[in-house]
Chains A and B, each alone.
Chain A
């Protein structure tokens, strides 16, 4: 097999491609020799092709998919529900989906799966959906990977959406990964920015990689639907408008698609009384500086006053001060709240990867050189055991609690 990318004789040895390669895959031994591409490092991202002013880099074109892109219409949003409650990520997707649908001059549609869920379709219409595809079946009462996946695959094949968005939640990621493979769609994970390219009308999907150290913009040029999961709390929720009109399409589904090999035996809600950190607008996180499990109480007090979720660094979780589901960072959760308190957390890069896209970061640490201060909007150098109770009291005052 010939190389999928090579530097041709048009090369003038300027070295622009060496600098452009984000993966360090291009090297130039001397100023007067052609650069060399290390194919083991190259990801065919094309950054060098764009950077080359002399059209000297040849990259293999993708084979045509033969798909008629015009056959795919509308922007779809998966309406995630738990026990019949529509999750807020759905409203964020409807808010963002509306902009995309307007740019494409297409309809915004929601897909709602559940049992006795019909009453919720109107909520989705009020939040901006022009059409709701509804599958109301007892088998869909709660999320199950296979039957939810089968139903979505069937609906995509039946109605051919152009764009299909889903929350980058546990459910969302487990579900649409199955759907995308089966319908031969491109799927981009955990997007933080979406836009329509005005020329090609492709969906531009921007997402963090390498723990947020780089951002990548991704397209699905030759196949449809263009599927993406979207990070929670990044997009703005659509506002409910009770006068917005939309249609509800009850979708019939063959029995066989509702069967699952795997079954949920039970669901055990978490005992920790605080809020799910993926959902929280404010998160109060604690680290090694808290010194003991008892001291987490300080954070819970502050969290209660603020209506916040409680998070933790890896060090706190590994010390068994709080369950793993609260861990923020590379091996835990990535969160994006409006306000993030880092209390007694030094700010290792793995932790920063999970929280540095928060709007406001408040760090409290006794070490003035702690790396957390490099990302903090407000950094407080001092003893957390003095500062946290004072902060709590002060917030209590202004919130009138």
Chain B
């Protein structure tokens, strides 16, 4: 079994602050982390490896410093890491990103499961996992909260829906995107950290993955960001304290119309 886990390095969003003078995001000094949902994807790969054997390859597309994210995954127990990094990828939207990752996966060649986090915490699109599946002409199970069974040919997994869950069976290879409920990511072990230090991270450029230039970066991205702005910060409203018997009728009266309008 070969599990490929796709990860993204993202800013630790809790640290993203808005500079009041320039109205822009201050990203200097912001720590980069593995996208939180990808931690569950890595853990699931490692868990499946422990149960069924095989290897876990972590794959990331990003700038050279994304190598750190791959080393972190190796410290958790992944076997090897591949970074796809090239200036030609600049400006990639989810179309070009999923194309680029799918070409890297083709280069890897053999695999049984591709595991992604359900979405990244910076872009929040949830589009890259299914995009990889389509580029590779593979079935997908999104929002996986549990893998019920896995053998050489088939996976059965539970997909979290808004009103319950589905049990889905798919032949391998297959693309999964996972939610938080699936597991609890482990901490890196000392041995893992040593391995991560020594690990050789392969770096692939556009030419290495046979990428068609018109499908990469800006040219491969149908969407274009035309404006970025900070939403007006939400202002705090009225604060009530003291004797609840005094202010509760007041609050309820203020909200009456809204509640009647919203009642279902």
- A: residues with CB less than 8 A from B are 1, 3-4, 19-24, 39-47, 60, 62-63, 65, 82, 145-146, 149, 169-171, 173-174, 177-178, 180-182, 184-190, 204, 208-223, 260-270, 275-276, 278-282, 306-307, 324-325, 327, 330-332, 334, 337-339, 348-350, 353, 356, 359-360, 362, 368, 373-382, 386-387, 390-391, 394-395, 398-399
Contacts and interface: CB of A to CB of B under 8 A. Distances in A.
Interface hub of B28, B121, B225 (most chain A Cβ within 10 A):
B225
Contacts of B133: 178
Given A212-B231, A213-B13, A267-B165, A181 B28 contact: no
B241 A382 contact: yes
Interface stretch (B43-51, B74-82, B104-112, B243-251): B243-251
16 contacts: A4-B90, A40-B63, A47-B228, A146-B139, A170-B142, A174-B140, A180-B131, A218-B226, A220-B222, A260-B139, A262-B140, A262-B168, A267-B165, A281-B262, A330-B36, A353-B13
Contact of B160 (A60, A170, A330): A170
Contact of B125 (A63, A189, A262, A334): A189
Please report whether the interface of chain B is mostly helix, strand, loop or mixed according to DSSP.
mixed
Interface stretch (B53-61, B91-99, B187-195, B196-204): B91-99
A62 B224 contact: yes
A339 B36 contact: no
B168 A216 contact: no
Given A181-B130, A217-B226, A331-B180, 13 more contacts: A4-B87, A39-B90, A47-B227, A145-B139, A186-B95, A189-B124, A213-B230, A217-B228, A220-B222, A334-B124, A350-B13, A362-B255, A380-B239
B68 to A, nearest CB: 13
A375 B238 CA distance: 10
Interface in B124-147: 124-131, 133-135, 138-143, 145
Interface of A is mostly: mixed
A266 B122 contact: no
A263 B122 CA distance: 32
Nearest to A173: B126
A355 to B, nearest CB: 10
Contacts of A21: 24
B171 interface: yes
Contact of B94 (A171, A187, A348): A187
Greatest chain B CB density within 10 A among A174, A265, A382 is at: A174
Contacts of A178: 130-131, 133-134, 140
Contacts of B210: none
Contact of B261 (A219, A338, A386): A338
